[in-house]
């Protein structure tokens, strides 16, 4: 049973990583350097902690890019 749970957790982790990679592609950033992408995400993390308005603005922008509610 523990083996199945660990396998399921690993499978879920892999799925999440693939989905996150898909977001990079959808944003048109596939060929950017990884250091740039990580730097941008770190900067975004800092901004989101200090500015709820920025969070709302980016959610709206992302939902528009998805063409729906962002799910």
**Boundaries of domain holding 39:** 33-71
26 shares its domain with 55: no
The position carrying tokens 């523990």 is: 2
59 shares its domain with 47: yes
Per-residue pLDDT, averaged over 4-32, amounts to 94
Q: Grade residue 4 by pLDDT with cuts at 50, 70 and 90.
A: confident
Phi, psi angles (nearest 5°) of residue 58: -70, -35
50 shares its domain with 67: yes
| CA separation for the pair 13, 28 (Å, rounded) | 23
**What are 31-70's pLDDT values in tens digits?**
999 999 999 999 999 999 998 899 999 999 999 999 865 5
Give yes or no for residue 1 having a pLDDT over 90: no
Give yes or no for residue 23 having a pLDDT over 60: yes
When divided into structural domains, the chain yields a total of 2
Q: Which of 50, 51, 63 is nearest to 23 (CA)?
A: 63
């Amino acid at each position: 049973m523990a083996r199945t749970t660990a396998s399921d957790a690993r499978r879920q982790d892999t799925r999440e990583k693939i989905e996150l990679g898909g977001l990079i592609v959808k944003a048109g950033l596939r060929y950017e350097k990884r250091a740039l992408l990580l730097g941008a995400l770190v900067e975004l993390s800092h901004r989101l902690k200090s500015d709820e308005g920025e969070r709302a603005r980016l959610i709206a922008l992302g939902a528009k890019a998805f063409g729906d509610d962002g799910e």
